[in-house]
Chain A
Amino acid sequence: MAVVTDTEQGHHARPRGWSRWLAATNHKDIGTLYLWFSFTMFLTGGVMALGIRAELFQPGLQFWQPDLFNQLTTLHGLIMVFGAIMPAFTGMANWLLPLMIGAPDMAFARMNNWSFWLLPPAALLLIVSFAVPGGAASAGWTLYAPLSTQMGMGMDLTIFAIHIMGISSIMGSINIIVTILNLRAPGMTLMKMPMFAWASLITAYLIIAVMPVLAGVVTMVLTDRHFGTHFFNAAGGGDPVLYQHVFWFFGHPEVYIMALPAFGIVSHILPTFARKPLFGYASMVYATSSIALLSFMVWAHHMFTTGMPATAQLFFMYATMLIAVPTGVKVFNWIATLWQGSISFETPMLFAIGFVCLFTVGGLSGVTLSVAAVDIQLQDSYYVVAHFHYVLVAGALFSLFAAVYYWFPKMSGRMYSERLGKLHFWWSLVWFNVTFFPMHFLGLAGMPRRIPDYALQFTSFNEIASVGAFCFGLGQLIFLYNILWSLRRGDPAPAKPWEGADTLEWQLPSPAPYHSFVEAPELEVGENGAIRGMKGGVHH
């Protein structure tokens, strides 16, 4: 079913029309598909978030019944994690890895397309589940048993959607790993390659290690629901807490799956706009690896209130705190990179600095939560919601905005509007904090998460948060408008629009040729993928 007849080296084809996207085997096209898909999912999940915030603007029930409210919180989480953040990073990896390491494409171009095209069906299953009897899954994105072992068909659709998304992300990760390990151009050695490649490599490893575990645990939910097993039911010797153990064995590395690529992105943008090499490149590599390894040993810090033995609480508490060490190394290195730099504040840099500041706030509230004695009070409160939105919105999402602005000239051949970009940043920064900072106070005061109604004393902070959320959401349309406008009207971009950028993709013209590095170049590379010399390299 090859669409275009073969030429000897393949790879010369430039398909037009629908088949360019439906039958894509070009990493740039597939990356673009990923990015647009994830932005669509970001808006979908965002609308659900606004539904949640609308209900929480006042105490009492205004808009939704509690069941629909729970469906919104559940699907908001699932869609943002699996539909928006993860695919966006995979899209970035697709676009950038071959350009950064001098590869002709991803190692398995056809499988790459399958990884992408599995996502829309999975998203469709999730969306359709709102319409089935009983509605969508309403157990929270964590799908805890015994909630998830009850409920209607929506839960089954969610389980199968997770299976499909799991297959997609495992194949995507195999592609990323093999591309990095096998297709680096001569001279691009592992301890020289860009931090984004390192971050993608380690993230992909985490995905392959834990997505199968998630598939396993939701399969057990499925058999508990329909085939009479008792995995999460004490009546047959199982245990609902067992669900949490297996889920969080997946879930905690998953947190880093959404954070490590962000670290990689920021480790390019800060040096570029500080016009200095990244401080402590090797320690960044080791810190990223340590975070990944430690992430397998901390899962039960999500479960301090399940009645585990004090020794276990202590172990998981200290192991969790240990993660602050390599993360601290990273934050230190980023700040040291800025130190005495010749800094300019273009939009990507603003988002990157915003990332460093706000992600660190989220990291510190994470350390607070890791203290078992403190967590007992804060478990399932709005403090937790504040914490993970600081690391996921101001962390992962801000880094993605930074990445899109930073590489937009290379991808599209046009410059984005700097004015709109800066407006987008400051708007997002302000309203993000208006939305999520009060949630710390709400949580400390005792407001539980995932509840559509609340006691009167929580009203003012909730009103502030809801206003913030609607403004933040509105502000994302600035981003959309900027991208759409710049794609058609933006100024033509030079090959290297950023003075301090030194990785391989900036050696290519803008936009990057459809088929880049058909023949691998010979490279002379410094740390963090800095190109010191390049010979050869054929594009068309």
Chain B
Amino acid sequence: MEGTRQTHYFVPDPSYWPLVGAIALFCLGLGAALAINGVALGGGLLVTGASILVYMLFGWFGDVIRESLAGRYHGKEDHSFRWAMGWFIFSEVMFFAAFFGVLFYVRVISVPELGNFSHKLLYPDFEAAWPLSTGPGITAPYEAMSAWGLPAINTLILLSSGVTVTVAHWGLVKGKRGQLAWGLGGTVLLGTLFLVMQGWEYAHALHELNLTFASGAYGMTFYMLTGFHGLHVLLGTVILFVVWMRVLKGHFDAEHHFAFEAAAWYWHFVDVVWLLLFVFVYWL
């Protein structure tokens, strides 16, 4: 689009998908609130909401992909998508920043503070150690997760997946479809492997280390941070899988592949979060 100015910008026709999505989130919100309070209707509403959401995502993204294939998106639309993905990832960064902030606060301020002399009357046996193992809220003893077992392997897996997705990108830009397909397939595989390993790690933590959400400041930050990261890996893997399927159907070319790049950006974001997790949750 360089050189000539694009005079028209694509504005979609009216669409009911947003309304369907709003109904989905209403069911999810209400269902979740009822379900966690043990109201019978809750679970059903949750499942309904999730199903409507999946239906909406298929329909909406389907529309977008059809519009893309019909050649409705040009340079300016592509620019919009890129800006939007960048800002979306920024919002995700801030979401994780909140939990990292909490981790640092707990480790640097609240736990040491509770070990101070002034709190000895309240909690005489409290020891300001990390992982925290004393305190009236920690009723069951647990062990911390070691960094150099499964988590280290998972780091390698995720870093390698960053390489494979880049190899796929090179393939796409150079028109080597085989390299693209294998690179992307490999990335999806590594993402899945990461999730399986994390499932294994959680099983190990729950059954052998007795580490739960309720294991005080260590357990809560461990599960909250790794759990939300895991959900993002899951989402990233699904996105990469969809892009892979589209590659196998012959979508994208060297100039026109925003969906691929968005997935790759998202994947790198998930990767960077993991590195921070590895250092601050597992290692230090």
Contact = CB atoms under 8 A, between A and B. Distances in A.
B59 A237 contact: no
A173 B94 CA distance: 15
A329 B20 CA distance: 46
- Most interface-central of B30, B110, B135, B216 (chain A CB within 10 A): B110
B97 interface: yes
A212 B90 CA distance: 10
The B interface, classified by DSSP as helix, strand, loop or mixed, is: helix
A277 to B, nearest CB: 29
Nearest to A22: B19
Contact of B9 (A128, A181, A183): A183
Interface string B1-36: 000010111111111111111110110111011101
- Most interface-central of B13, B26, B28 (chain A CB within 10 A): B13
Contacts of B273: none
A456 interface: no
Contacts of B14: 2-4, 13, 15, 19-20, 23-25
Contacts of B22: 114, 117-118, 120-121
Interface in B87-112: 87-88, 90-92, 94-95, 97-99, 101-102, 105-106, 109-111
Nearest to B24: A121
Nearest to A118: B22
Interface string A162-176: 011001001001110
Interface in B28-79: 28-30, 32-34, 36-37, 39, 59-60, 63, 72, 76, 79
A164 B12 contact: no
Contacts of A10: 10-13, 72
Nearest to A6: B13
A114 B20 CA distance: 9
Interface stretch (A103-111, A458-466, A500-508): A103-111
A246 B109 CA distance: 14
A519 interface: yes
Interface string A13-43: 1010001101111000000000000000000
B209 interface: no
B137 A236 contact: yes
A210 interface: yes
Nearest to B109: A239
Interface in B120-160: 132, 135-138
Interface string A146-167: 0000001100110111011001
B101 A164 contact: no
B262 interface: no
Interface in B179-235: 212-214, 216-220, 224
B173 interface: no
B55 to A, nearest CB: 10
B114 interface: yes
Interface residues of A, number: 89
A242 interface: yes
A159 B5 CA distance: 46
Contacts of B25: 118, 121, 164, 167
Given A1-B63, A520-B7, A108 B18 contact: no
Given A167-B25, A226-B36, A228-B214, A237 B132 contact: yes
A238 B220 contact: yes
Interface residues of B, number: 71
A208 B84 contact: no
Contacts of A125: 26, 29-30, 33
Contacts of B94: 208-210, 212-213
B83 interface: yes
B39 to A, nearest CB: 8
Contact of B5 (A3, A186, A212, A222): A186
Given A25-B11, A177-B87, A182-B79, A124 B26 contact: yes
A157 B90 contact: no
A230 interface: yes
A168 to B, nearest CB: 9
A496 interface: no
Contacts of B99: 216
A160 B5 contact: no
A35 B26 CA distance: 21
B109 to A, nearest CB: 7
9 contacts: A111-B18, A118-B21, A156-B32, A160-B28, A212-B98, A217-B98, A231-B220, A235-B135, A236-B132
Interface of A: 1-6, 9-11, 13, 15, 19-20, 22-25, 103-105, 107-111, 113-114, 116-118, 120-122, 124-125, 128, 152-153, 156-157, 159-161, 163-164, 167, 170, 173-175, 177-178, 181-183, 186, 208-213, 215-217, 220, 222-223, 226-231, 233-239, 242, 245-246, 249, 515, 518-520
Given A23-B18, A122-B29, A237-B138, 9 more contacts: A1-B16, A110-B60, A121-B22, A160-B33, A178-B80, A183-B9, A230-B214, A237-B106, A239-B110
Interface of B: 5, 7-23, 25-26, 28-30, 32-34, 36-37, 39, 59-60, 63, 72, 76, 79-80, 83-84, 87-88, 90-92, 94-95, 97-99, 101-102, 105-106, 109-111, 113-114, 132, 135-138, 212-214, 216-220, 224
